[in-house]
Amino acid sequence: MAAVGVGMALMAAIAVLTLAVGSRTCAASSASAAGAPPASCNSTTLRATFGPLPPFLTFTSCEDVDANATCTVGCDGTQRYTGTAATLRCENNGTAFFSGQLPICHPPCVSSSEDVDDSVAAKCSEVAVGDSCVWECTRGYQGDSVLRVCVAANHTASSFTGQLPTCDPVPCFLSVDMQGEAYNLADCAIGQHHGDICTASCATGYAGQATTFICDDGSFVGRMPSCTLKRPRMTTDAGSVLLGVYDEQAVNIAYFTDDNTPNAKSGRVLTEREIEDKIASAFEVDRDNNPVEDAIVQDIDSSGGVRDAVQRVIDANSPTGATLTNYLQSTEQSLGNKIMEETDAVETTLRSELAGKAMSLETQMDNALNAVANNMEELQRQVRLDFVEAAHNTSQRVWSAATSLETQFNAAITNVQAEVTQVSNHVGAKVPSLEQGLQGLAADIGGVDSRVAAVSNAATAISDQVNRCLRTCPAGQYVSSWCTSTSPNACSPCPADTFSRGTGLDTTCAPCPLTTCPAGTYAQSCNAATGASLGCATCPSNTYQDEDQHVLRQCKPCSCPSGWQPLGSCVRDQPFKCVQNYISVFDGACGANAWLLTGKAGGCYTSSTHSGTYVSSGDIGGDDFDVYATARVRFAAGRYRFFCSADDCCWISLRGPTNVSPINPSSCNGCTSCSGHTAYANLAAGEYTVMYRAHERGGGFGMTFYIDRA
């Protein structure tokens, strides 16, 4: 029983000890949860340590970082930020924090931030530090492209090296299809560049509305004016014939003598308006100071019948002749004598003023009748030269006009005879001889019949010439030579790039309308008979046209001058470029035949040997550094030899139509490239970015690079 009691006491003691220990353990655990700092770091810790975080940082393993563990912070390459990644350590001194520094991230170079005009454009938008971008001239401007490298200006800014390309507007020159004697292109001939606007008008001697051209990337875009030769024209409208001349030119008639020279009747043809104005002007003078007319009106016939009769004859454009003139001149004196013998002051007035009136009537009638004759002769000459419409109707109209004129003359004669009889009855009592004189005047006027017959004969003679001179040319042809006394007008086909819709007697064909075509094609001519465009045709084999939206009539040959080689195959819608002697350092931040040095070295290296590919340098001091040389190089298709030597290592790489690294040592130990490397590679034709790289480990530096055709 004693043993059982001891055992029970021992178990009770163990239980008490266990409870005591358990109580202390729980207390310790509770104290740790309430007062110890957290054991890890996270993004909240990052912001607490460094403040607001830039958006261009990247974080690797930076959540739930244990104490004394690390995470990596880098630069966001997707945003083209560059820099060396940094390592941060999670620390805990009662408060969790990260030790270390955030990386310095260089922003990319942004091409849109450059202050450039429309003549320059970059082939990139954002470029990381160390990368390059080509800047070139835009469409309509010319100049060498420039390769510019993005470098860090400071911790927060980056910029492109080098200068922007110099781009000048492309000049425009008159093409062959814009030439022609009908056009005045002086405004477009000199000094026109891309974007300029000039005026094309008609040359002296031609009529038409002026047009404008715009100089677009080396070519004029626009339509030529439609210019018509300024020469007399005849058209018909509802049975009427309209004769037209330009400006202040006159219509003249020449009456030729037997020795083929114009006689005294030759002269200008007056229009109806001009004839009426001249007659009205002449009679206005007579009415202002005409005692003969006053005497006749007052003493013989208050209605003025003689005056009206003569006026009607003149208004009808009746012809006159030598008979009336001779009669008036021969009877003037005798009529005056009889009036003086048989009358007093009235008879004296009639005698003196009748002579003046007779001469005035003679002059006015001669002028009017000569105008009619002149009009007929000019009609004959102009029809022979220029008249353009309705040949089969012209002769009939002239004959009809002559018949109508004869009818009018007969009516006028009848009126005059009636008036003369009336006047004779009134005057007979006082001046018996005046009746005989007026009857003689009526008889002379009867000679008008022969004049009308002469006009009819002239119309008949004209008709033969009309048939020859009104021969029209069909569509697609023009009048190349005018009719003669024995042959009709001659027609010839329109020259290339012109057309005629067959308007009849045009002496030139109009230029074909301009057709706008895309790259890879050329503008065909037009239909010679309609002017309809034949559209755009694909450039033939071995030709190209790189202009877009152009009006050029031909494509350019895919050929190179002597000593030059193609820079690629012939593509119909792409520029065909050539390179001289297979290799050409044509572009870069430093210009032609020059290399941009970066890394330990800087500036530009101008090369004069090995087609501009030779670059070398001596010791520049320092250890463990790189030197880069970069340029844009054109290569013709073929095999090339690459050479480099450097203390300690050298590399050559090319990026272009094909990417190749002909010299690319896998490791760089002491003086790996001192003895030089030579490699060969086949290159496709095109433009490449070539980079030379040399590395110095220590102990003195030197390098040599060049490329030759194998």
The per-type count for the chain, helices as H runs and strands as E runs, is: 11, 45
pLDDT at 588: 72
Q: Which of 177-191, 431-445, 473-487, 636-650 has the lowest mean pLDDT?
A: 431-445
pLDDT in the model for residue 447: 57
Q: What's residue 244's pLDDT? A: 78
Please, where are the H alpha helices in 60-192?
Answer: 186-189
**479-532 residue pLDDT tens:** 999 988 888 899 999 999 999 987 678 889 999 998 999 999 999 999 999 989
Q: Convert the pLDDT of each residue in 148-170 to its tens digit.
A: 889 887 778 888 888 888 899 98
Q: Is pLDDT larger for residue 465 or for residue 611?
A: 611
Neighbour-count burial of 41, counting CB atoms closer than 10 A to its CB (0-12 exposed, 13-18 middle, 19+ buried): buried
Quote the CA–CA distance of 534 and 550 in Å, as a whole number: 15
Structure confidence by residue, pLDDT tens digits, 599-638: 999 899 999 999 999 999 999 988 899 999 999 999 999 9
Q: Is the pLDDT of residue 29 over 50?
A: no
The pLDDT, as a whole number, for residue 457 is 63
pLDDT band at residue 32 under the 50/70/90 scheme: very low
How high is the pLDDT of residue 264?
A: 72
Out of 198-212, 283-297, 439-453, 559-573, least confident range: 283-297
Q: CA quadruple 667, 671, 672, 676: dihedral positive or negative?
A: positive
Angle between the N-to-C axes of helices 345-385 and 272-288, in degrees from 0 to 180, rounded to the nearest 10: 170
pLDDT higher at 441 or 604: 604
Of 194, 196, 197, the C-alpha closest to 168 is: 194
Query: How much of the chain exceeds pLDDT 70, in percent?
Result: 67
User: Does residue 183 register a pLDDT over 50?
Assistant: yes
What pLDDT is attached to residue 21?
33
**What is the pLDDT averaged over residues 440-444?**
56
| More confident of the two residues 666 and 633 | 633
Element (H, E) at 693: strand 686-696
Stretch 223-232: mean pLDDT: 87
Q: How far apart are CA 263 and CA 377, in angstroms?
A: 12
> Residue 313 — left, alpha, or beta (φ > 0 → left; ψ -120 to 50 → alpha)?
alpha
User: To the nearest 5 percent, what fractions of the chain are helix, strand and coil?
Assistant: 35, 30, 40
pLDDT, position 246: 78
| pLDDT for the residue numbered 253 | 81
Continuous H helices in 72-115: none
pLDDT-based confidence at residue 327 (cuts at 50, 70, 90): very low
At 367 the pLDDT is: 65
How far is 687 from 633, CA to CA, in rounded Å? 6
State the pLDDT at residue 430: 52
Pairwise CA distance, residues 201 & 210, whole Å: 4
Compute the distance between CA of residue 688 and CA of residue 680 in angstroms, rounded to an integer.
16
Does CATH number 1.10.10 belong to domain 578-709?
no
Q: What confidence score (pLDDT) does residue 511 get? A: 92
3-state SS class at 377: helix
Whether 362 has a pLDDT exceeding 80, the answer reads no
Which has more pLDDT, 519 or 265? 519
* 3-state secondary structure at position 451: helix
HSE-CB at 279 with a 13 A cutoff on CA atoms is 24
- Pick the more confident residue, 126 or 368: 126
The angle formed by the CA atoms of residues 231, 232 and 233, to the nearest 5 degrees, is 115
Integer Rg of the chain from CA = 54
Integer CA distances (angstroms), 203 to 177, 498, 506, in order: 16, 18, 17
The overall average pLDDT reported for the chain is 77
The confidence score (pLDDT) of residue 318 equals 40
Question: Lowest mean pLDDT: which of 181-190, 266-275, 326-335?
Answer: 326-335
Name the range with the highest mean pLDDT among 154-163, 178-187, 196-205.
196-205
The two three-digit tokens of residue 169, written as one number: 């507007």
**pLDDT (0 to 100) of residue 24:** 33
> Of the spans 61-65, 280-284, 393-397, 464-468, which averages the highest pLDDT?
61-65
pLDDT at 464 over 90: no
Residue 408: pLDDT band (50, 70, 90) is: low
pLDDT at 156: 81
Query: For residue 671, which phi and psi values (nearest 5 degrees)?
Result: 55, 45
Q: Is the pLDDT of residue 421 over 80?
A: no
Is the model more confident about 190 or about 421?
190
What tens digit of pLDDT does each residue of 302-326 get? 555 555 554 555 555 444 444 444 5
Q: What is the pLDDT of residue 394?
A: 44
pLDDT above 90 covers what percent of the chain? 34
> Per-residue pLDDT for 438 more than 60?
no
Rounded-to-integer distance, Cα 306 and Cα 303, Å = 9
pLDDT at 28: 35
Using alpha carbons, select from 680, 662, 687, 661 the residue that is nearest to residue 568: 687
Mean pLDDT in residue range 112-136: 86
Q: Please report the pLDDT score of residue 11 as a whole number.
A: 43
The pLDDT assigned to 449 comes to: 54
Tens of pLDDT along 270-304?
777 777 777 766 655 444 455 544 554 554 455 55
Model confidence at 383, pLDDT cuts 50, 70, 90, reads very low
* C-alpha distance from residue 425 to each of 352, 353, 435, 436, 441 (Å): 22, 21, 8, 11, 15
Token pair of 242, please? 């309209």
Taking a C-beta distance cutoff of 8 angstroms, is the pair 120, 138 a contact?
yes
The model's confidence at residue 459, banded by pLDDT at 50, 70 and 90, is low
Encode pLDDT of 328-361 as tens digits: 455 555 655 655 665 555 556 555 665 666 566 5
| Chain centroid, CA 536 distance in Å | 18
Average pLDDT over residues 25-41: 49
What confidence category does residue 16 fall into, taking pLDDT thresholds of 50, 70 and 90?
Answer: very low
